[in-house]
Amino acid sequence: MEIEKELGNRDLIVSSTNKKGIICYVNSTFTKISEYTKDDLYGKPHNIVRHPDMPKAIFKYVWENLLNKKPVVAYVKNYVRGKKKYYWVKAVMYPKVVDNEITMITSYRTKATSFEISQISEIYRELVAYEKSHNVSESLNYFKEYLKNKTLTYNRMINRLNDNQQVLNTALLNFNISEFKSDHMIFRSRIESLVEKGYENIDVVKPTCCAFGKRLETIENESFAKDNKFLEIKRLHDKVHTELQLYVDADESIRVNYMNEVYKDIDTLFEIMETLKNDHKYDFEV
């Protein structure tokens, strides 16, 4: 029974090869995850980490693109040293071309999500089974035919998998939009009533003192959190808290001005959240 090794959201596994696939560079995340040392890897063919669940057709497709000087993306399952553990990655591979010659190929790998893994491993299983009685060219044709039947190209299949992940993430975010909004309104009115009761030293600057702030913190490492709109949400949320503090500390005569700002910013913030779902693009972090 093989064990899956899970990558962290921030892990970026990098390796480079020459145009024959011989490893000439690996970063420290590669050695950490693969459990090989640099000495084990340098000068070795990259299939040293190959897992038998990977269809030959995928590597054929990858190499066809790379040798045509085109970057290519693939989901890859790799073995950890000892072949008892494995890990899944989303790999973006770039050939470096100097004077029309490929001098090096580099692969940048990030964590594949469980959704992506479940979808792609189904396709890979079918291809590996097909490859038991067909050669690799037949398998690649079979794969292309399979994509055509679904009116997909290879790149669209990859993008679709990413999009689906985004839809899932956004759904998660949207599911709670109204909950977040009411949470914040309750928080705001609690502050108001504390102020009215004459409490002093009320601290509302720290955004994580509300449930929404805590939630923002838990999702800030997700892929969609790199989105500019998401960053704007965080900025506005911090601003709301600062304004609440100004409201608390201000003279009674001008307090209302700060609260008006808070109302306005909460509305803007949730408008942005509503539109966030419409324009996600996954950017590979390279």
Ligand X SMILES: Cc1cc2nc3c(=O)[nH]c(=O)nc-3n(C[C@H](O)[C@H](O)[C@H](O)COP(=O)(O)O)c2cc1C
Q: Which residues bind ligand X (CB under 6 A)?
A: 15, 17, 21, 46-47, 49-50, 54, 59, 66, 76, 78, 93, 105-107
Q: Which residues of 55-90 are buried (b: 16+ CB within 10 A; e: fewer)?
A: bbbbbebbeebbeeeeebbbbbbbbbeeeebbbbbb
Q: Is 24 helix (H, G, I), strand (E, B) or coil?
A: strand
88: β partners: 77
Q: Which two tokens stand for residue 63?
A: 């190499």
**CB of 22 vs ligand X, minimal distance in Å:** 9
Any idea how long the chain is? Answer: 286
CB of 54 to ligand X, least distance (A): 6
DSSP H or E stretch at residue 87: strand 85-98
Contact between 115 and 165 under an 8 Å Cβ cutoff? The reply is: yes
Chain Cα centroid distance, residue 260: 37
Q: Tell me the C-alpha to C-alpha distance, in Å, between residue 128 and each of 56, 61, 280.
A: 8, 14, 33
Task: Name the residue nearer to ligand X (CB basis): 14 or 147.
Answer: 14
Query: What's the closest the beta carbon of residue 148 comes to ligand X, in angstroms?
Result: 24
Q: How far is the CB of 114 from ligand X (least distance, A)?
A: 19
Helices and strands (H, E) in the chain, number of each type = 10, 6
C-alpha span between 154 and 152 (Å, rounded): 7
Residue 138 has which token pair?
């037949």
Between 47 and 178, whose beta carbon lies closer to ligand X?
Answer: 47
Type and span of the H or E element at 107: strand 101-111
Instruction: Find all residues with CB under 8 Å of 270, minimum gap 6, and list them.
Output: 177, 180, 181
- Start-end of H helices in 103-210: 114-131, 136-149, 154-175, 177-196
Q: Which residue type, as a one-letter code, is found at position 286?
A: V
Closer CB to ligand X, 109 or 237, in the complex: 109
* CB 235, min distance to ligand X, A: 38
